[in-house]
Amino acid sequence: MTSWQKISLLLAFISAAFLSGIGIFIAEASLLGILLCLFGAIMTPGIGFMLKKRYNKN
């Protein structure tokens, strides 16, 4: 497994955790938790795409 695959797998797990967190915080009716997990679920794939672009340039 290459280093890029390890980073990609880690980002996928983090993104899945944020998506699960959204469901958990909906059940708890915590607006702050929902917003934080939603922000994380949007930012994590964005970071992955930025890293992939940088990795492919080099």
Q: Is the residue at 30 inside a domain?
A: yes
The whole-angstrom separation of Cα 8 and Cα 52 is 9
The separation between CA 51 and the C-alpha centre of its own chain, rounded to angstroms, equals: 13
Structural domains counted in the chain: 1
pLDDT at residue 58 is higher than 80: no
Q: Is the residue at 26 inside a domain?
A: yes
Instruction: Evaluate whether 22 touches 34 at the Cβ level (below 8 Å).
Output: yes
pLDDT at residue 50 is higher than 80: yes
Range of the domain at 24: 3-53
Q: Is the residue at 28 inside a domain?
A: yes
Q: Is the residue at 38 inside a domain?
A: yes
Q: Is the residue at 14 inside a domain?
A: yes
**Tens digit of each residue's pLDDT (9 = 90 or more) over 8-40:** 999 999 999 999 999 999 999 999 999 999 999
Q: Is the residue at 58 inside a domain?
A: no
Listing DSSP states for 1-58 in one string gives --HHHHHHHHHHHHHHHHHHHHHHHHHHT-HHHHHHHHHHHHHHHHHHHHHHHHHHH-
Q: Is the residue at 19 inside a domain?
A: yes
